[in-house]
Structures are given as structure tokens and as C-alpha cells.
Amino acid sequence: MARSVRLRGSARTAALLLAALLAALPASAGVAQVRLKLPLKPRLPLRGNERIVLAPFVIATEAEKARDKRLQNVDLQAEFQRFLKKQIEKKTKLEIVPVPPELKLPTQNLSELGRSTEFWRALGVQTGAEILISGSLEFRVEDRSGYKTEEYVSPIDGRTYYRQVYVEQTGFLFDIVFLVFDGHSGEKILQDEFKDFRQTGGRRADELQGLFENLFSLENQILNLFVARDREAERYIFTD
């Protein structure tokens, strides 16, 4: 009996030793998932404290406004300018120069606007701004309601059936094209486009809320024009 107890004790010690040894050895094929914040350099070659002008944007959906009541509820130009101004003031050191009140774009055609070097140079001289921002905005509210197939388990026989249900949804599409001009030469120095689509439940979802959902999801990309931002990513590293 005493021998058996001693043996059991030795076996326990050996097992502990073995466990300690195994722990000390490197785990085979060890992989860990890590989260990175990828530093994104600003897309405009700026010092960071330039004077900039936020000129009006061409509203691509202006013609549809007369027909679409929901677009009439949104002052896209004012809302976007306010959002952009606030973001730039909050998250960059750029100085926003007020736009001359009587300023009108020379054209509503985006390509021609990009080539209006004289207009942009004159605006740069008038305001003393080094960077001029303009472009186009498109905001659409789409009724995405329709029939969708869903699974249904019958409480009577417990079997699975498929049925058609009517789902009310609203889609919000936002598309911005940025045109950035050099205030001294009037030359276009960058053109870029950002798009976002959001879908929410309900046929009568609020259009202003939809617009801001779009804008907040594009915030990082928009700010990355002017300042460094980061983007989250996941990668695998080997631990042995």
C-alpha cells in the first residue's frame, strides 16, 4: 500500500515535470492574430497649415430635386459644406478662408470645372488661399422595398417552409468627387471620388439621417486627403 502511494506520487511529479517541459518547448505552428493600425499618408502634399477655400460643389442631382420630394428636404450644399468645415477645423491645422459671398462656379460640368484654371487662379489671388476645394456631390434616396424569401418553421408540423415577405427598406447613396486646385497656378492637383451606400429598415427612413450615415462612413477617407489617418487591419504572425 505504502509503495503504491509513493509510486503515485512519483507519477504525479513526472507528469508535472513533463507538463513544465512541454510548456517550455515552443508550441508547434503557433500563430497569433494581431490588429494593426496602418498609417495612411495624406493624399495631398501639404505642410499642414495652408490656407484653404471650400468653394461650392456641383450638385449632380439638382435636376431631380424638382421631382423628388425627399431631396427637397435636404440642402446638400449647405449640409456638406458645414460637415467638411467642421471636420477640417477639428482634425487638421488648415486655415479655412471664407468664400467670397458672390462666388459662382463658372460651369456645372465637372470636367470643365477641372480645366477652369483661370477661374481658380483668380480665386486663389482674391482669397490668398493656397488650396482650393470643389467637386461634385450626388445624394440619392432609393426605395428598396420589395418581397424577400425567408425560412419559416411551421408550429403545426415542425417542417421548414419558405415564404415571401414584404420588407420595407430605404437606400441612401452618396457620391463625392473632390477637385483640389493649387491657389497660385489654378492647376488641378488632385481628383478623387468616394462613394457610400447605406440601407436602413423602413420605407420612410429620414433622409438627413441617411445623409449623415453616408458622411460619417466616408469621414476617414475624406480627412485622409488632408492629414494622415489610420486604417485598421488584421494580420497573422507566427509565434515560433
Partner 1 sequence: MKKAALVLGAALVAAGCSSYSRTEKAQTQISFGTAVARRGLWREAAFRFEKAVEKEPNNARAHNNLAVALEAEGEFARALAEYKKALELDPNDTYIRRNYARFAEFYTSYTRTTGKATGGS
By CB under 8 A, residue 21 contacts partner 1: yes
Q: Which CB atom, from 35 or from 204, has the smaller least distance to partner 1?
A: 35
Instruction: Return the range that interacts with partner 1 (CB under 8 A); candidates 6-14, 46-54, 80-88, 132-140.
Output: 6-14
Which residue in 232, 217, 234 sits closest to 39, CA to CA? 232
Assess 232 for contact with partner 1 (CB under 8 A): no
Reported residue count of the chain is 240
Tally of CB atoms within 10 A around 136: 19
Among 3, 5, 26, 166, binds partner 1 (CB under 8 A): 26
| Rounded Cα gap, residues 169 and 125, in angstroms | 48
Give 103's DSSP letter.
Answer: -
Going from the C-alpha of 229 to that of each of 19, 39, 89, the distances in angstroms are 46, 6, 15
Strand, helix or coil at 96? strand
Stretch binding partner 1 (CB under 8 A), from 20-28, 68-76, 99-107, 152-160: 20-28
- Per the CB < 8 A criterion, the answer to whether 129 and 182 are in contact is no
Site for partner 1 (CB under 8 A): which residue of 103, 122, 125, 233? 233
**Residue 23 in the binding site for partner 1 (CB under 8 A):** no
Residues in contact with partner 1, counted by CB under 8 A, come to a total of 33
For partner 1, which is the closer residue by CB, 82 or 231? 231
DSSP class of 107:
-
Instruction: Choose which of 2, 5, 24, 66 interacts with partner 1 (CB under 8 A).
Output: 24
Q: Binding residue for partner 1 (CB under 8 A) from 23, 41, 116, 133? A: 41
Q: Counting beta carbons within 10 angstroms of the beta carbon of residue 68, is it exposed (0 to 12), middle (13 to 18) or buried (19 or more)?
A: middle
CB of 31 to partner 1, least distance (A): 6
* Packing angle of the helix pair 76-91, 207-223 (nearest 10 deg): 40
> In 92-176, where does DSSP find H-type helix?
110-114, 117-127
Does residue 37 interact with partner 1 by CB under 8 A? Answer: yes
- CA–CA distance, 78 with 56 (Å, rounded to integer): 9
Output the smallest distance, CB 29 to partner 1, in A.
Answer: 9
Residues in contact with partner 1, shown as a per-residue x/- string from 99 to 128 under the rule CB under 8 A: ------------------------------
Strand 229-238, strand 31-40: pairing:
antiparallel
Exactly one of 2, 23, 25, 66 binds partner 1 (CB under 8 A); which one?
25
Site residues for partner 1, window 170-199 (CB under 8 A)?
Answer: 192
Interface residues with partner 1 (CB under 8 A) are: 7, 10-11, 13-15, 17-18, 21-22, 24-26, 31-32, 34, 36-41, 43, 192, 231, 233-240
